[in-house]
Structure 1
Amino acid sequence: MTVETRAEGFSDPPSKKELPLLEDPAEAKTRKCCTPNIKMFLVALSFTYFCKTLSGSYMKSSITQIERRFEIPSSVIGVIDGSFEMGNLLVLPLVSYFGAKFHRPKIIGAGCMLMSIGTLLTALPHFLMGRYNYESTISASTNSSTVSFPCSQDPGQLSELEAQQQSSRIAACEHDGGSLMWVAVLLGNMLRGVGEATIPPLGISFIDDFASPENSAFYIGCLHTIAVIGPLFGFTLGAFCARLYVDIGFVDLGSITISMKDSRWVGAWWLGFIIAGGTSLVSAFPFFFLPKTLPKEGGPEKDSTAAAEQNLLQGNQQTNATDEQPKIIDVAKGFFPALKRLLTNKIYVFYLIANIIMFNAFIILITYTPKYLEQQFGESTSKANFLIGVTSMPAVSLGIFFSGIIMKKFKLDLLGAAKVALGTAILGCLCTFPLFALTCDNAEIAGLTVSYGGTGISDLESSVSVACNSGCGCPVNQWEPVCGENGMTYVSPCFAGCNISRGSGKNTTFHDCRCIEAFPESGSGNFSAVLGQCPREEKCSRMFIYYLAFQSLSFFVFSLGSTPLYIINLRCVEPDLKSLSVGIFTMALRVLGGIPAPIYFGALIDSTCIKWGTKKCGGRGACRMYDNISFRLLFLGLILGLRLMGYVFFGFVIVQVKKKFTRDHRKASAEGEVFLKQEMKNNVLPEQKPAGLSEKEVESSA
């Protein structure tokens, strides 16, 4: 008898597949815990979201620092900020469509590495440029002895001073290689955008594919909640770095004559990019150890460890084969038909238009809020960033978290999600109306916002030079603000008509100032001035706190509708179009919102500037002083107008969703009637049909 033959009456032994699994329960539990699942992917993706929002928010918090360091206007800084969206535009459509056909976790990991490289490249110009030399007429080496100031009306002394200043500018130009270094910041930010383009479309669609339907919205809500922690750390990091002088460790800080509230102050903007780039690099590694597919959460294999492992094993075994199966040409053939199906979906199109308009308002808000707080309330960049981080970001995080709970608790369908999103948006908009009343007047700067006598002015250039400083020969573009003992801020000691200076560095004081003598305050004695602008009115501090409170409240209410708003994107399209819809949605926001918004609003801000700085080699630099009233109306008014316009289009979304529900209900009812009639016909045999009854009567009797 050979090995293949068996005695009659004996059955074949059980196959290997049918053998029971005999193993240590502890080992089974360990293996189950180590088996990749959707929650592991969620943890890795959450950390990636944290890193990308950390980098993005730090860039927003450093906008003012970069503007001052490179002496560029707000319109150019808007181009730098928009370069991130340009990088997204380059690859987002391809990643969204083609990336879904391949190994999504590994593509996300590669994107994280590109994001890290771009963030580190942004900090590179600091190490290639010379030291930061802000415009100043105060010598850091001046000792405590009394010296004559330019307004001594000595022609020979004036000529000598002008020659020294001209020589200093020429020397600075010869050693300044950073006039176009902002281009490197732009390219680094663009590369960061290229890497970030892989994360939202592939990550969100991956979660939606392998998470159970009831958990998908909750996971996305948790993901966005954790992502908001990134800006909390980003703005806090921005506040910390803004407190440190840009060339810390390379210059004597005692020689710095400006304070953090000075519009010429530049913090260590480069340090935060190094930290953010390092965290982005760390976030890339987990994705290279995740499989292409995961067990479907809540499926039949949920309670079976062996089945889960078998499913995962099959997925891993097929990975090598499937990696070779998709052909670029074959996949590309279906791109344009899929795009046509997507863009003929009326719900999706109106949803897209509404979000593009509202995203313009959002970009303007997050990009220029720190600058607005600095200019409107006279706060330092460090304080503005810190308070934004600790007040607004937790409110946003809580709002997003509760929005996910709302979706899961009430099991909102497409129409319910749309109504919640629009309702929270309108309520949040109402919370912003008090912000229009929370404002401070322009700082009283002689010759810029008020006359030397304290009254209003209409012409900037004709009012900076008056009788009290007419013989000083002060350059109009000079900016060295000093606070007179009469409570008035002057553009420079020269424009204050000061003849004598004592002390050095930040402790320098100016005396015998003829413009202070000409318009004294009661009790004035020696007509002196000190470096820096005079303190703002007391109500500004209270207005600042109220502004942050109402802003945080509005952020919280807006965020309550964030998850329902995002879920509409996934639920209003067919399942095979999810990745493409997310990709097109993200691309449209970048192209029509993220890129133009900071540029055109930056240009609008430049139109409100009343005092420009001067570059070392000549030419207009960064703005030193804005008109608060015009800035406030532009900032808050444009944001409100864009939001209201977006809500109109979102109303069209709800109308289209209702029409779709009505059509689906009618179609389901018609199909149900046809099916019921067919079943009735099948249940009633021809010989059982009562004589004299029609077919309709038979169906009624049945």
Structure 2
Amino acid sequence: MEGRGIGNPVFEPPSPDAGRQREATSPKVDSGIPTQSGEGPCGWGCFAPRALQVCNNAEGFLAMYSLLAIFQGMVVNGLINISISTIEKRYELNSSLTGLISASYDISFCILALFVSFFGERGHKPRWLAFSAFMLGLGSLIFSLPHFSSGKYHFGTKLEDTCQIPGTRSVNFTCSASGVSSLSNYLYVFILGQLMLGVGGTPLYTLGTTFIDDSVAKHKSSLYIGIGYAMSLLGPAVGYVLGGQLLNIYIDIEIPESTKMDPDDPRWLGAWWIGFLVCFVATWPLIIPFSCFPKYLPGTAKIQSEKISETHDDGSELLVETQNIGKSFKDFPMALLNPVLMSLIVASTSEALVATGFATFLPKLIENQFGKTSSFSATLAGLVLIPAAALGQVVSGILVSKCKMDCKSIIKFMIGTCSVALLLNTVFLFAKCGNEPFAGVSETYNGTGMLHNLTAPCNANCGCSRSIYYPVCGRDEVQYFSPCFAGCASLVINKMKKMYHNCSCIGKPERQAGLEDLFYEAVSGKCPTQCKLLPLFLTFFFFTVVFTFMAVTPTTVAILRCVPDKQRSFALGVQLVFLRLLGTIPGPILFGVAIDSSCTLWDINDCNTKGACWVYDNERMAYLLMGISKWLLHIKYMYSVIDILTWTAT
């Protein structure tokens, strides 16, 4: 094809030779895998111990692939997500900067996916995955380095949370003009670590998937890929559990003797960095098994020769065979001419946008809608999202494999699962909670003060700071921003629980003889919610996630079937780029904007800088999230229907 551009089959006149060549073309897949080259024993050159040959098959490779996918998901989608809040406080970063840290992985992935998928398709895929293990380990190590170079964590005095006599509250804050701290320079180290993790994750989900598809029979491909993807979802679950436990360990391991602190103290920071070191130590040993696999597993050529091509009949299959297309990077745009491929990509992108949005903000949704603690909400979200997503992928993989679905049947299956997910998405209409009473936000202070103003006559002389959010529940079943804003002047600690007295903003309780522990006027923590719909919400949401993720594995299999064999890795690369650019990068941003728009009380510090949101309008949040997810699922449904209408098999 020297000196020639890529001919567009739409504008080329039909050739009788081309017609005869098409008739003579075998329906078998020409994989480009030489029968005698590439297949070999498991080992390193001449050193190929017989014991290693037990693993020289698709099952052995899948086991190593699954381990690497677990550690990748554990770091990228587990440990980093749960550590972001601690990193913000320790290194004095705002949320926009930590958002840049989170996005760095997908940015790196987008830049490299096409190059890796193209050059890796013709290379030694297992060795590319050895490189993937090296970079994932290196990225984990780099991400933990700021802890060792930033010195010991220093903290200030314990915050006063009660109403103080005028003139006795000390003010020790200084508002900097630049607002920049030397600790914030570690931002670039975190970004570098994420970029390295992105480099490592790219071969895993492009070349690893196509290597599995190469090595197994067509009807088993969806099962093997589904198992691999399910293992990648197990990683975040492990990351959330491990990270949650590590945050209960003090950041420098030993708590200073000069003070007594526990995880409830506002100054407490957990040992976020340990999990990254664990992943570094666990990932690098996987370099060894991946480097010993041959370029092709034994029997790959025979398996490929028996596969029937289901490439969409847009002329690209003929061009690939007759003009040697797929050997040069400039030939990549041909894949974009495949309407079935692009419709599948758009459908999966809209699905990814919904999935990443809820994966990021489901803990916040549970915490605010149902009045649960942040740690409990995060644990509950992990227990719902991870098993449901894994179950959906495994079940769909088994169904596609057992029913031996062709590409058209797979797309019909996707339409069915999307329809069920759309129906279940209506859970937000009947499993939502109203707004709990909050003084100064949703109601006044016993008839005094104004709405949306925390300061009232009963606490005007307390010198309260809005930068100290420490909610308390009054005996009147109204929540207050802090003991200070409730006008509480004193406290006692009873059974490790703070109880506040002399609260000027709370009506006096009726004393009952013999019930001394009921004399308090406010107790630390949010008021117990009156909404009992959490079990119903979780049940419906669980099955919504199951049916949503039942389309993930079939989509991957359909993409592998609807393009010429030599373009499979590139097709997956294009899909992953679109998933990042239009799905996983904007997904959390879109959901975050929707959630922020339902905020009714923002954190304003002593320098009048707006931070996080403390109180949300629950009904507005529920309707916005349901509207966004329904809109995106309708897009997925529409493009899946377009796939059926435009599909023709060779």
Assess if the C-alpha contact under 8 Å between 2:466 and 2:606 holds in 1: no
Aligned residue in 2 for 1:296: 299
Q: Rate the CA distance shift 1:381–1:197 in 2: closer, same or farther, 3 A.
A: same
Q: Comparing 588-597 with 604-613, which one deviates more in the overlay?
A: 604-613
The letter for the 1-side match of 2:232 is A
Q: Deviations over 1:545-596 (max 9, x none)?
A: 2222222222222333332221111011011100110111111111222222
Measured after TM superposition, the shift of residue 507 of structure 1 is 5.1
The CA distance in 2 between the partners of 1:175 and 1:585, in whole Å, is: 39
Q: Rate the CA distance shift 1:257–1:271 in 2: closer, same or farther, 3 A.
A: closer
Corresponding position: 1:223 with 2:215? no
Measured after TM superposition, the shift of residue 509 of structure 1 is 4.1
Q: Deviations over 1:127-155 (max 9, x none)?
A: 4266375996338xxxxxxxxx6543x4x
**Could you tell me which of 379, 394, 403 is aligned with 2:387?**
394
Aligned residue in 2 for 1:432: 425
Aligned residue in 2 for 1:313: none
Residues 475-554 of structure 1 correspond to what in structure 2 (within 5 A)?
475-502=465-492, 508-516=498-506, 519-520=507-508, 528-530=520-522, 532-539=524-531, 542-554=532-544
Aligned residue in 2 for 1:165: 171
TM-score by length of 2: 0.79
Q: Rate the CA distance shift 1:444–1:121 in 2: closer, same or farther, 3 A.
A: farther
Aligned residue in 2 for 1:584: 574
The CA distance in 2 between the partners of 1:294 and 1:113, in whole Å, is: 22
Looking at secondary structure, tell me which structure has more helix per residue.
1
Q: Deviations over 1:411-464 (max 9, x none)?
A: 111100000012112212322212342223334331123221289x9852xx21
Corresponding position: 1:336 with 2:341? no
Measured after TM superposition, the shift of residue 297 of structure 1 is 4.4
The CA distance in 2 between the partners of 1:601 and 1:118, in whole Å, is: 28
Q: Helix, strand or coil for the counterpart of 1:198?
A: helix
Q: Rate the CA distance shift 1:390–1:356 in 2: closer, same or farther, 3 A.
A: closer
User: Which is greater in Rg?
Assistant: 1
Unpaired segments ≥5 residues, structure 2: 1-47, 306-323
The alignment covers a number of residue pairs equal to 578
Corresponding position: 1:406 with 2:399? yes
The CA distance in 1 between the partners of 2:630 and 2:179, in whole Å, is: 47
Aligned residue in 1 for 2:29: none
Measured after TM superposition, the shift of residue 631 of structure 1 is 2.8
The CA distance in 1 between the partners of 2:577 and 2:229, in whole Å, is: 19
The letter for the 1-side match of 2:408 is L
Q: Helix, strand or coil for the counterpart of 1:500?
A: strand
Q: Rate the CA distance shift 1:150–1:422 in 2: closer, same or farther, 3 A.
A: same
Aligned residue in 2 for 1:575: 565
The CA distance in 1 between the partners of 2:465 and 2:252, in whole Å, is: 28
Corresponding position: 1:48 with 2:38? no
Q: Helix, strand or coil for the counterpart of 2:458?
A: helix
Q: Deviations over 1:187-241 (max 9, x none)?
A: 3223211210111111111122232223222221222233332233223223323
Corresponding position: 1:595 with 2:585? yes
Aligned residue in 1 for 2:203: 198
Moved over 6 A (4+): 173-176, 330-333, 524-527, 615-618
Aligned residue in 2 for 1:379: 372
Assess if the C-alpha contact under 8 Å between 2:489 and 2:501 holds in 1: yes
Corresponding position: 1:625 with 2:612? no
TM-score by length of 1: 0.73
Assess if the C-alpha contact under 8 Å between 2:428 and 2:623 holds in 1: no
- Aligned-pair identity (%): 28
Q: Comparing 58-67 with 555-564, which one deviates more in the overlay?
A: 58-67
The CA distance in 2 between the partners of 1:150 and 1:105, in whole Å, is: 65
**Could you tell me which of 93, 97, 115 is aligned with 2:114?**
93
**Could you tell me which of 595, 608, 611 is aligned with 1:605?**
595
Measured after TM superposition, the shift of residue 72 of structure 1 is 5.7
Measured after TM superposition, the shift of residue 95 of structure 1 is 0.4
Corresponding position: 1:277 with 2:280? yes
Q: Comparing 84-93 with 439-448, which one deviates more in the overlay?
A: 439-448
The CA distance in 2 between the partners of 1:507 and 1:80, in whole Å, is: 37
Q: Rate the CA distance shift 1:503–1:217 in 2: closer, same or farther, 3 A.
A: closer
Assess if the C-alpha contact under 8 Å between 2:359 and 2:385 holds in 1: no
**Could you tell me which of 359, 365, 383 is aligned with 2:352?**
359
**Could you tell me which of 150, 163, 183 is aligned with 1:178?**
183
Q: Helix, strand or coil for the counterpart of 1:467?
A: coil
Q: Rate the CA distance shift 1:486–1:72 in 2: closer, same or farther, 3 A.
A: farther
The CA distance in 2 between the partners of 1:600 and 1:61, in whole Å, is: 20
Residues 414-425 of structure 1 correspond to what in structure 2 (within 5 A)?
414-425=407-418
The CA distance in 2 between the partners of 1:135 and 1:491, in whole Å, is: 21
The CA distance in 2 between the partners of 1:215 and 1:453, in whole Å, is: 67
Assess if the C-alpha contact under 8 Å between 2:470 and 2:481 holds in 1: yes
Assess if the C-alpha contact under 8 Å between 1:510 and 1:528 holds in 2: yes
The letter for the 1-side match of 2:528 is R
The CA distance in 1 between the partners of 2:74 and 2:477, in whole Å, is: 41
What's the C-alpha RMSD, in Å, of the aligned pairs?
Answer: 3.7
Aligned residue in 2 for 1:14: none
